Amino acid sequence: MTVTLADVAARARVSPATVSRVLNGNYPVATSTRDRVLRAVNDLDYVLNGPASSLAAATSDLVGILVNDIADPFFGIMAGAAQSQIGGPGDGSGRAGGEKLAVVCNTGGSPERELTYLTLLQRQRAAAVVLTGGAVEDPAHQAAMAAKLAKLADAGTTVVFCGRPPLPDSDAVLAALAFDNRGGARALTEHLLELGHRRIGYVAGPLERTTTRHRLEGHREAMRAAGLDGDQDRLTVHGWYDRASGYDATRELLSREGEVTAVVAANDTVALGACAAIRDHGLRIPEDISVAGFDDLPFSVDAVPALTTVRLPLAEAGAQAGRLAMGKEKPPAGGILTIEAELMVRGSTAAPRG
């Protein structure tokens, strides 16, 4: 039926162990022997049985990359970069060699699915797991995550965070690459303040996520430093990280607050929705109202006017996370690395009227 390693061994006139050594390549084998084995592998079109090999070796070549929303380029860019470091270049033949199987798992932002995926990866004895994007701050979930990650680490799975703050009191995580969301948000709001804005609406993400909190905190730090902390809560609307939320929240801001001169959005996608709402309201950007986003996704520069935003080096961070997961790079001191954000000033922000 299906070709096994023993078949290959028989055909190459060597022992199964030798075939295994050739295939795994972590053991010296005479060149002539290896050639014979490889020829047999080709002749029989043999493909290693992953489960069997994982069972025997007590580890698999699976690497999981968890993302909150696979349809969001924010995650796609990070995941793609991570995968490129993990999957290996291949040998151009389509025949799999020693590569890892880098796969991305879409949690949809649900804490339960995040845990489920981790359990599934634990079950597969995954070699590594990369968790991308902000975390949910619910204490129960955090505790469950810490416990689960500890178990994974115990079983030999490397855990890396990418764009996620470190878990307190946990040494299960090899490295945490955290974006400086707070600093980026602060710089962005400072930019608006310098332009002369005083009444700045904020369309935030879901309340319980670290990314949301950090960006909001940065914004408020800047406001407070400028002596503006009176009606912050009234000027903040929470929603999800999508276009519709940006649209709805901005409509609300515009209707109940005629005097907002600028809208800061949780991210670029939300900003796009905000722009649409502002236009539908009959106002111009940036003449009547300034708009700013966050992330600097590829489409942001093509918005009209081009979106002022905060650039996050998503691809670089993803690639580094991939390398860390593969053990190609040693983790930063303390296991934590803060990745700087860069303010990108474009056409969607300007001084307020009058």
| Footprint of its own copies on 39-98 (CB under 8 A) | 45, 47-55, 60-62, 64, 69-73, 76-77, 79-80, 83-84, 87, 90, 92-96
Site string for its own copies, 269-308 (x = CB under 8 A): x--xx-xx--x------------------xx-xxxx----
272 binds DNA (CB under 7 A): no
Helix, strand, coil: what percent of the chain each, to 5? 45, 15, 40
107 phi and psi angles, rounded to 5 deg: -85, -15
Question: Residue 14 binds which entry of DNA, its own copies, none, with Cβ cut-offs from 5 to 8 Å by kind?
Answer: DNA
Site for its own copies in 123-142 (CB under 8 A): 123-125
Is 52 among the residues that bind DNA (CB under 7 A)? yes
86 touches 78 (CB < 8 A): no
Q: Tokens 């890396």 correspond to what residue? A: 160
Tokens 């914004």: give the residue.
Answer: 219
Residue 150 interacts with its own copies (CB under 8 A)?
Answer: no
Measured between alpha carbons, how far is 35 from 141 in angstroms, rounded to an integer?
Answer: 52
Number of residues that bind its own copies (CB under 8 A): 73
Least spacing, CB of residue 86 vs DNA, in Å: 19
Decide whether 61 or 295 has the Cβ nearer to DNA.
Answer: 61
Q: How far is the CB of 56 from DNA (least distance, A)?
A: 3
Which of 10, 16, 243, 338 is close enough to bind DNA by CB under 7 A? Answer: 16
Nearest to 291 by CA among 179, 188, 219: 188
| Residue type, position 78, single letter | M
- Do the beta carbons of residue 278 and residue 289 sit within 8 Å? yes
Taking phi over 0 as left and psi of -120 to 50 as alpha, with beta for the rest, 304 belongs to beta
- Name which of its own copies, DNA, none residue 101 binds, using a CB cut-off of 5 to 8 Å depending on partner kind: its own copies
Strands 128-132 and 173-179: unpaired
The answer to whether 178 touches 337, Cβ cutoff 8 Å, is: yes
Does residue 122 touch DNA according to CB under 7 A? Answer: no
- Determine if residue 13 is left, alpha or beta; phi over 0 gives left, psi from -120 to 50 gives alpha, anything else beta: left
Task: Sketch the per residue contact string, 57 through 86, with DNA: x for CB under 7 A, - otherwise.
Answer: xx----------------------------
Region 153-172 residues binding its own copies, contact defined as CB under 8 A? 155
* Binding interface with DNA (CB under 7 A): 1-2, 4-6, 13-21, 23-24, 27-30, 32-34, 48-49, 52-53, 55-58
